[in-house]
Amino acid sequence: MPIELEPLGTLTISIEQQTVVRGTPQGGLLIGEAADCRWEGDRVWARQLGRSASDWVRFHSDGSMGVDARILLRTDDGATIAMTYRGRAARPPGEGGIVYTAPTFETDDERYGWLNAVQAVGKGQRTGNTLVYELYALR
């Protein structure tokens, strides 16, 4: 059975600050804090709620990277959506590496309850201090 992709929109993250922790037992870390996140799609339009978004990137010994991110969003009509994603990159996004992610969502708002069952995928690229993902629901 083939996998279909349904567009969910664009996630744009403006990176405010990064902190590097080198040489931990599990590899280096890059913690990025977002100044702003916007999710713009046909069914969802939302922005980061407060200072809730951060991205923890782990540098692996082979040069690849693992991503672990969390964002709390508020929709234009008042719903709260928690987005969590893990992912991989062959090289650092700041050096042009493409980031592949697998987002999931949690909400208690009935209007967006359909998101609770979505497994999404995303592909992102960074330019300067902006990281842009195209998001899709797997069907």
Given a contact cutoff of 8 angstroms between Cβ atoms, the answer to whether 105 and 115 are in contact is yes
Percent of the chain with pLDDT over 70: 100
pLDDT digits (tens, 9 = 90+) for 58-90: 988 888 899 999 999 999 999 999 999 999 998
Write down the H helix ranges in 39-90: none
For the domain 5-138, what is the CATH code?
2.40.160.20
Decide if 105 contacts 83 (C-beta within 8 A): yes
pLDDT tens-place string over residues 82-103: 999 999 998 887 788 899 999 9
- What angle is formed at CA 73 by the lines to CA 72 and CA 79, rounded to 5 degrees? 120
Look over the chain and give the mean of its residue pLDDT values, rounded to a whole number: 94
Buried b (16+ CB within 10 A) or exposed e, 8-18: bbebbbebeee
Q: Which two tokens stand for residue 48?
A: 């980061």
Contact at 8 Å (CB) between 102 and 88?
A: no
* pTM higher than the cut 0.75: yes
